[in-house]
Amino acid sequence: MITEQNVLDALSRVQEPELHRDLVTLKMIKDVRIAGEAVNFTIVLTTPACPLRGQIESEAKAAVAATGAKQITIKWDANVPSDARISGKLNIPVRSTIAVASGKGGVGKTTVAVNLAVALAQSGAQVGLMDADVYGPNIPIMMGVNEPPRSVNGKILPLEAHGVKLMSMGFLVPPEQAVIWRGPMLHSAVRQFLTDVEWGPLDYLVIDLPPGTGDVQLTLAQSVPLTGGVVVATPQDVALADVLKGIMMFKKLEVPVLGIVENMSYFLCPHCGERTEIFAHGGAQQMAAQYGVAFLGEIPLDVSIRVGGDTGAPITAAQPDSPHAKIFRELSQKIAAAVSVLNVQSSQGALITGGSIPVLRR
């Protein structure tokens, strides 16, 4: 006769691939139900965007089958671990903060931030997108939102599009009006976006940083713990020289680097399918290897991605089944997995160095 203990003993031999500890120790198993040779249980993932769910499922089923179970049913749930440093510094119900940066402008950083946020939301996570590029806010255009936010009880209510909560200076200032502020005013605006916005519970707050390494980046690092940073690059040498500055900025601010994304990596001719590497190729991957950070993937130069950004319909939302949307989903899964590793690591007070996503130490 199969018992609950038999099932738990079997699942204690199945490891979570990124955390390198077993499912039972990580408290990822709940609601075990047994009826003769039928076994049902729930696996609670550390992110709904888990990239290795298939592997976990096949290994869990094989382990339980060894107990004699003939019918195995797995239900799925997710509980994103929190970066405990956030609640220790700010009274906001945000579990993780992901900063998207670039060493220079024009590399498609906001395109990556927008599609990352939408892809995470599509996985079932609660997601916010904060436009910290005060001087050049593009989130309203790219997310298709053009209205001022309301406020209730002294709190600003974020706008929402494509399942993502939004806040941007572009919602507060007319498009033709330039924002000409010194450091203290920038500091105040960034703090307000964090503390005066009613974000509600969020699994991930994606923060689109301005290009470069200036006041906003420093203010954010001082205002809220950043769980991790993503650096966006294009392949050519002149852009990669600035990527290194972005990596070093995160290191100086003690922000783990989740990885580098190579945007506009190549162009596929829509007529003949020929691949052309317009801006060279592979430079970001080489830099990632050189500095010990993850290479998160290549995003092609494609007109549908550009059109989606210009029309407020990100490709992950407008064409969710397209190959390019799949690239962004895979990117979001890698980032979500790395964030889970960091947050579990932080809660246990121990460094986790294994897994497929190498990270720089805090």
Mean pLDDT per 10-residue section of the chain, whose length is 362 residues? 96 94 96 96 96 96 96 96 90 94 87 97 97 88 93 93 95 70 73 92 95 80 91 82 85 92 87 82 85 92 92 96 95 96 78 38 33
Q: Which domains does the chain have, with CATH numbers?
A: 4-78 (3.30.300.130), 84-348 (3.40.50.300)
Residue pointed to by tokens 């970066």: 83
Q: Which residues contact 204 (CB under 8 A, 6 or more apart)?
A: 80, 95, 96, 97, 98, 117, 120, 125, 126, 127, 128, 336, 339
* Calpha distance 107→199 (Å, rounded): 28
Return phi, psi of residue 304, to 5°. Answer: -70, -35
**Per the structure block, which two tokens stand in for 208?**
């689109």
Q: Is the pTM of this model over 0.85?
A: yes
**Rounded to an integer, what distance in angstroms lies between the CA atom of residue 32 and that of residue 287?**
46
Token code pair at residue 287: 């830099």
Identify the pLDDT of residue 177: 66
Query: What pLDDT, on the 0 to 100 scale, is given for residue 346?
Result: 76
How much is the pLDDT for 178? 64
- Report whether 133 contacts 208 (CB < 8 A): yes
Instruction: List Cβ neighbours of 317 (8 Å cut-off, separation of 6 or more).
Output: 118, 122, 162, 308
- Residues 305 and 326: their CA atoms lie apart, in Å, by 12
Predicted local confidence at residue 180, as pLDDT: 62
